[in-house]
Amino acid sequence: MKILMVNKFLYPNGGSETYIFKLGEELQRKGHEVQYFGMEHENRIVGNHAQCYTSNMDFHTGRLTKLLYPFRIIYSAEAKRKMGVVLRDMNPDVVHLNNINFQLTPSVIYAVRSYEKKTGRKVKIVYTAHDYQWVCPNHMMRIPATGQICFACREGHFGNCSKNRCIHNSRIKSLLGTIEARFYEKRRTYGMVDVIICPSEFMKKQLDTNPLLAQKTVMMRNFIDEDAKQTGKEAGRRDKAEDYVLYFGRFAQEKGTGTLLEACRALPQIPFVFAGTGPLQEQVEQVSNVHNKGFVTGDALKELIAGARFSVYPSEWYENGPFSVMESLVYGTPVLVSDLGGAPELVQAGTTGEIFRGGDVEELTEHIRDLWEHPEVCRKYSENCREINFDTVGEYCDKIVRNVYA
């Protein structure tokens, strides 16, 4: 089978890139042909035989003063044209879309259907929903300026994005986000996709509020590496160091880092280890009982996770199916997770971890204190984590080929 993976970034940048690289590698290992389409970038690590990519665009820092820029982030003629080149060169059976909005734009969907008309070949379009872009123009269902969780744009009420300045607190960018959402809603573009993979029940519930998408969604949780499962088994056979509480991920307000830091200050007797970077790094460095390891990957991160008494995932936006929660549990480390989005679906409260009300610093503080003062509870949770059985990338690959791509 020939699969074309489509994602705006073709270099390591976040969860969606982790997903496409690992899934693509496993598909190739199983004998399928996989190529990639997205933006050109100096750090690009995958590609296509036609060597055809769109020009690099940074919606976060780019100025919107160039005449064509606002139009390009709504509908990219360049992306449609170059996608057509790759399609004609590869002749894929499946086009697997991931993060495409703003930089690539849904124009790539039209490229596939245009290719079908010209060649007479049927191509299955699959989309993995890594965020809420197709029901929320700022993709987070959260108003950045206030931190307020928001459902206002569901069911097509996209004008709320402009009203609340939901994209980077910018009136112009938020207006463009509103225009983009309305444009593709009127054209029923997303209805051209055959299957939508949702990594959580929460994500599926949100997308199902759009009648155009409701009959196309399937829930498939994200996968873990085969070696992660083995590392977890090994971690479960040895005693934990039990001398720190771990947070690993991006240091940002929407990730709940600020709330967690307040809890850290209220618990000076408890040692915390943070691993990551982000806009709140300066605040992290100022808390005396927090040791920041910086950006950690590979075996060092595995050891850090496996050695913690428990980890904290305090996100204050609707996370989807975070790999970090899955990794922690597989490595035998219980998770204290906020009750927002798809993350709490991964934790069995009172069995493999605990759940607190997102953004509530007092409740978070009490949970951390209670878990720290009762190490026997953490040990029991850790033992229970050994029974967790998330799909490995190989198992996930078999399911997606059999149940989605076919």
CATH, residue 294? 3.40.50.2000
The arithmetic mean of pLDDT across residues 142-166, rounded, is 90
The arithmetic mean of pLDDT across residues 269-277, rounded, is 97
Identify the pLDDT of residue 144.
85
Domain co-membership, 364 together with 233: yes
In a domain? residue 148: no
Domain co-membership, 114 together with 8: yes
- Counting Cα atoms < 13 Å in the Cβ hemisphere of 157 gives 11
What's the per-residue H, E or C state across the chain? CEEEEECCCCCCCCHHHHHHHHHHHHHHHCCCEEEEECECCCCCCCCCCCCCCECCCCCCCCCCCCCCHHHHCCCCHHHHHHHHHHHHHHCCCEEEECCCCCCCCCHHHHHHHHHHHHHCCCCEEEEECCCCCCCCCCCCCEECCCCEECCCCHHHCCHHHHHCCCCCCCHHHHHHHHHHHHHHHHCCHHHHCCEEEECCHHHHHHHCCCHHHHCCEEECCCCECHHHHHHHHHHHCCCCCCCCEEEECCCCHHHCHHHHHHHHHHCCCCCEEEECCCCCHHHHHCCCCEEECCCCCHHHHHHHHHHCCEEEECCCCCCCCCHHHHHHHHCCCCEEEECCCCHHHHCCECCCEEEECCCCHHHHHHHHHHHHHCHHHHHHHHHHHCCCCCCEHHHHHHHHHHHHHC
Reported confidence tier of residue 14, pLDDT bands at 50, 70, 90: confident
Span 124-139, pLDDT tens digits: 999 999 999 999 999 9
The fraction of the chain above a pLDDT of 70, given in percent, is 93
The arithmetic mean of pLDDT across residues 176-198, rounded, is 94
In a domain? residue 169: no
In terms of average pLDDT, the best of 226-230, 387-391, 396-400 is 396-400
Q: Which residues, including other chains, have CB under 8 Å from residue 214's CB and lie 6 or more apart?
A: 207, 208
As a whole number of Å, the end-to-end CA separation of the chain is 9
In a domain? residue 158: no
Domain co-membership, 239 together with 209: no
Q: Is the pLDDT of residue 72 over 90?
A: no
The arithmetic mean of pLDDT across residues 283-308, rounded, is 94
Strand partners for 311: 246, 335
Domain, as residue range, for 355: 226-385
Identify the pLDDT of residue 67.
47
In a domain? residue 138: no
The fraction of the chain above a pLDDT of 90, given in percent, is 81
Domain co-membership, 75 together with 120: yes
Domain co-membership, 52 together with 196: yes
Domain co-membership, 94 together with 216: yes
Q: What is the mean pLDDT of the chain?
A: 92
In a domain? residue 51: yes
Number of folded domains that form the chain: 2
Domain co-membership, 203 together with 87: yes
Span 90-123, pLDDT tens digits: 999 999 999 998 889 999 999 999 999 999 999 9
Q: Is the pLDDT of residue 226 over 80?
A: no
Span 346-391, pLDDT tens digits: 999 999 999 999 999 999 999 999 999 999 999 999 999 989 989 9
What is d(CA 237, CA 274) in angstroms, rounded to the nearest whole number?
25
Q: Is the pLDDT of residue 325 over 70?
A: yes
Q: Is the pLDDT of residue 342 over 60?
A: yes
